[in-house]
Every structure is written in structure tokens, then in C-alpha cells.
Amino acid sequence: MIQSERSGYALELAVDFVRMTGGMRGLGPPRGPIVPLPAQELADVSGDWPAGNIDIRIGDYMVRPQQKWTITPVANAGGYPGSPYFKIAIAGTDRTLAATAEGEVVAVPAFTGDPGQLWRIDQLIDGTYRIMPKSMPNSREPMVLTAAGRSTPTLAGFDPKSDKARWNFRKP
């Protein structure tokens, strides 16, 4: 999970909510033994995802497939002292986080190695992380992944006095 330090919410694909199997619970006394619900799987939800780019949002972490990310170093993509550039993708897919020319973030259907799909991850002195694209189309200024409000991620300049561009990585 990629968690906003500002809100505590998780970075996720902006896709329709799919209810977990097992029906509604918590209405009246339990009928029969209480058993845990199985975790929602990627195949349970990804069939209805759009084929093209998908917007990104920030929301409550509910252990959903659209909230689980893998971060993988990219060979031969360059880097900076101490670290390579990374690919950030929805776990189990090639759907990759990418910076757009408009300064937004989306999930593209496939990783191409484009500079907007390569991410620099810097650990800050407080233990949080700054996440920034290698480059962003139409921008000469370095931009970072930023929480604009409680539910909207975007790209903006880094403000060291703010928690808007500080992220945490949590294992689900």
C-alpha cells in the first residue's frame, strides 16, 4: 500500500467499487457460525476496469486489489546516487503509474519505460518518502506525487514544510 502521510488514505485506481462475496454483515445477530470472508482477488474486480488509462485517487484502505502496488527497480533506466528508477504498478498487472503532460497521475495499461513511468523514491529525514517521476512532459521543474486535499493525487513542486508530498509504504 502507498499511504498518504497527510490523510492516511491509500493510493488506488479510480474504479467502481465491487462488493466482496458473502453479502451484508452486521445487521442483526449472526445466523450460523462466523467465518472469515476470503480476500478479494484481482480477477474478481479487474474485468470491469477500462482498457485505457485509469485515473488515480486516494481512499480508505480496504485491502482491495486496486490498492495493492508493486515497486520494481528498472534495469538500464538510469537512476541517481544510491538508487535506480522504479516501476510502480498494480500488483499482478502491468498497469503502471504514470505522470501526464497535464501534471496528473494515471495508471496506463502497460509499462513502456517512458520517463513519466519511471519513479524516483527518496526517503526523507522523518522516515516518509517523496515519490517523483523521472521527468514530466511539458515541465522543466521537478514535480512530486502530492495529495491535493484528502482524495486527489496530483503532481506539484515539493514543499519541505508540508505533509502533502510525503508517503509511506505499508505491507497489507
> 2-13+41-169: what fold?
Trefoil (Acidic Fibroblast Growth Factor, subunit A) (2.80.10)
Q: Who contacts 55 (Cβ-Cβ below 8 Å, separation ≥6)?
A: 13, 14, 104, 106, 107
Q: What is the pLDDT of residues 76-134, one digit of tens each?
A: 999 988 899 999 999 999 999 999 989 899 999 999 999 999 999 999 999 999 999 99
Q: Does the pLDDT of residue 147 top 70, yes or no?
A: yes
Residue among 168, 107, 115 at smallest CA distance from 143: 115
| Residue 137 predicted with pLDDT over 80 | no
Average pLDDT over residues 50-71: 94
3 state DSSP class of 51: coil
Q: Name the pLDDT band for 158 (thresholds 50, 70, 90).
A: very high
| Model pLDDT for residues 8-23, shown as the tens digit of each residue | 999 999 997 666 665 5
User: Going by C-beta distance under 8 Å and a sequence separation of 6 or more, which residues neighbour residue 60?
Assistant: 9, 10
